[in-house]
Structure 1
Amino acid sequence: MMYEQQHQIQPQMRMDMRKNNSSNNNSRLGAGVAAEKRKSIEEEKLEIVDLSGLSLECLPNPSLNLATICKLDLSNNNLQNIPESLTARLLNVVVLDVHSNQLKSLPNSIGCLSKLKVLNVSGNLIESLPKTIENCRSLEELNANFNKLSKLPDTIGFELINLKKLSVNSNKLVLLPRSLSHLTALRVLDARLNCLRSLPEDLENLINLEVLNISQNFQYLDTLPYSIGLLLSLVELDVSYNKITTLPDSLGCLKKLQKLSVEGNPMVSPPMEVFEQGLHAVKKYLSEKMNGGHRSSPKKKSWVGKLVKYGTFNGHRSSSSASRDPEREGFFMPEYRPIDGLASPRYMGMFSPRRLFSPRNYFSG
């Protein structure tokens, strides 16, 4: 088996050259420099191994210590599995690329890769990710596009606290786990071309999310949660080619939003003439609607007005107020009764629910 060492990692070592008269500080500085040198020597031994595009169907026994590999590229081969024992020994791997193979699953030992930051498993036949992937707590980028994923691990969001980019487009996902809302470091979420029927409700916890693409879920996705408008860092939102008819009013709060794609939806609100005026007009429309500027339903009458209407209160409508606002219903009590009197046993029965909402008149003198 041939390994190609492309280059060695040369970490930068910073040294404080300022003079210090304190012997204790000098000793600490010397110890720090020594530690940096040891770290430098260790990292200089790490290697990048590229075995991509060799039509490999299986991996032969390696001819070097797997613990010395920081990047392993096995992409564009015909691999059907990755041995558990091999993965478990990649203790220092930071980048693992196995895209464009024939993998149906990932080894459970992938959870041993505590230093792994980038994992690319796109273009395979993977139906589910192992739950042990949650142990890869250094992971910053996960690319699982173009697979057969029907679900993600339920608790994946609780552990991958450093994940910044999650790409799961072109799969068979029906939903995204609620735990994804705990990925507070996440900046990019790409879940297009799936079968998503809904999104998690508490998306507002994704405080650093800048790009959200949930387009092309076609006939499945027809609503968006209100919390999508609370993603205050969001710059790009693509919900095109779904069955969405109404955008949440909360989208009017997204001050950083620069790109909104909604084509291919049977959109009703905002109306298309608003979209034709551009993103600023859409945000203004939604903001005004949220603040009561646009009302799709008649104004709700107060419960007091309803009581007056049905004669529960023996009041008289104000003709002047009615002329000014026909929907506003005012009332006057026929006589003044002090609170002591109303609280007396004589009047206590008047406030029972059955009497209060009865069409009969119990307040007449």
Structure 2
Amino acid sequence: MMREEMRMVELKRYVEEEDQRLDIVDLSGMSLDSLPKPCLNLTAICKLNLSNNNLQNVNVNVHVQSIPESLTARLLNVVALDVHSNQLKFLPNSIGCLSKLKTLNVSGNLLRSLPKTIENCRSLEELNANFNILTKLPESIGFDLIYMKKLSVNSNKLVFLPQSITHLTYLRLLDARLNCLRALPDDLQNLINLQVLNVSQNFQYLQNLPYSIGLLVSLVELDVSYNKITALPHSIGCMKKLQKLSVEGNLLVSPPAEVFEQGLHAVKEYLGGKMNSPQKKRSWVGKLVKYGTLNGNMMRGGSGHGERQGFIISMDGLASPRYTGMFSPRRFFSPGRYSTR
């Protein structure tokens, strides 16, 4: 009995020591312009906070860095890295060694681009790169960072989002407001878990929305306000879960202002009617076939959640609630003009 108790004590001590080996290091707000030579085991760090300092890249040409390549490469167990609110112009390429990294905050710096090696951070779930001067994102970011759930790149100078972003099937939030976006990627319907999409305040640059924006099945909130959009895609009439639509600050002609004044239900009904018109019906069916949203099972429509969440297009035909079962729950969603609920 004594021997068994000793074994349990030893096991408990081992577990406690193992937990202590993974440390949280907080060096935020210490006015650091460079990092001190490490006096601890870098491989033991699980969370490292270097935010609100004066870290900067001294000489890009000779790669003198306040975050050395050698340091980043040794953070093998880090799951959260925060370097927001510094003066970094680039990130070390060795950031690609952080295979366990889940959360990365690089907001509030002077980054013009992200290193291509970031694509090797395949456990990454949240990336915050707000308030930089990014002009582009790595082209294949969506092919490699497949577990990404939150992508925030607002307040940059992005002209386009890479097409590969449409492969981020776990993505729940995409915030790309306050950029210079000219267009959004096609095939947005692949973002089957996206709940919040904000592409507002791209001002005179963003003039059109892709048809596939109305095929985002999980979207709850859509903000396309303060752009130069004149018409919303008719596919918005099929957005079953959409609860908030913000499109103020545009030059919308369709739907007209009087429809928006009646709320989101009226917007969906109006666009559904346009989609269901004889001129549009054939092309609409073609879109559904192309995106694989038609199936052979007919079900009763209606969500039972009232106007806000129900499938509220009221006219007979393809878009009627009677036929909502024809739309696979892997596609649907879109925007509006005034903020409507």
Q: Normalising TM by the smaller chain, what interval? A: 0.7 to 0.9
Deviation at 1:173? 0.1
Q: Which has the higher contact order (CA 8 A, sep 6+)?
A: 2
What secondary structure does 1:71 align onto? strand
Residue 37 of structure 1 and its aligned partner are, at CA, apart by 9.2
Q: Give the structure 1 partner of residue 259 of structure 2.
A: 274
Q: Does 1:64 align with 2:49?
A: no
Q: Which residue of 1 aligns with 2:29?
A: 53
| Count of aligned positions | 262
What secondary structure sits across from 1:52 in the alignment? coil
- Secondary structure of the residue aligned to 2:267 is helix
Specify every segment of 5 or more residues in structure 1 that has no aligned partner in the other structure, as ranges: 1-33, 296-365
Q: What does residue 169 of structure 1 align with? A: 154
Aligned-residue offset at 1:44: 3.1
- Aligned equivalent of 1:243, options 215, 221, 228: 228
Displacement, 1:168? 0.1
TM-score if structure 2 supplies the norm length? Answer: 0.74
2:163 is equivalent to residue 178 of structure 1? yes
Letter in 1 for 2:174: L
After superposition, residues 1-365 of structure 1 pair within 5 angstroms as 41-80=17-56, 81-292=66-277
Which AA in structure 2 matches 1:217?
N
Residue identity opposite 1:98 in structure 2 = V
Aligned partner of 2:63 in structure 1 is: none
Contact kept in structure 2, 1:112 and 1:136, CA below 8 Å: yes
CA contact 1:288–1:294 (8 Å) conserved in 2: no
- Higher gyration radius (CA): 1
Distance in 2 (alpha carbons) for counterparts of 1:115 and 1:36: 26
**1:11 is matched with which residue?**
none
Please list every run of at least 4 consecutive aligned residues from structure 1 whose deviation after the TM superposition is greater than 2 angstroms: 34-44
Amino acid at match of 2:47: K
Residue type matched to 2:213 in 1?
I
1:129 and 1:193 map into 2 onto residues whose CA distance is 18
CA distance in 2, matches of 1:88, 1:35: 32
SS in 1 for 2:110: coil
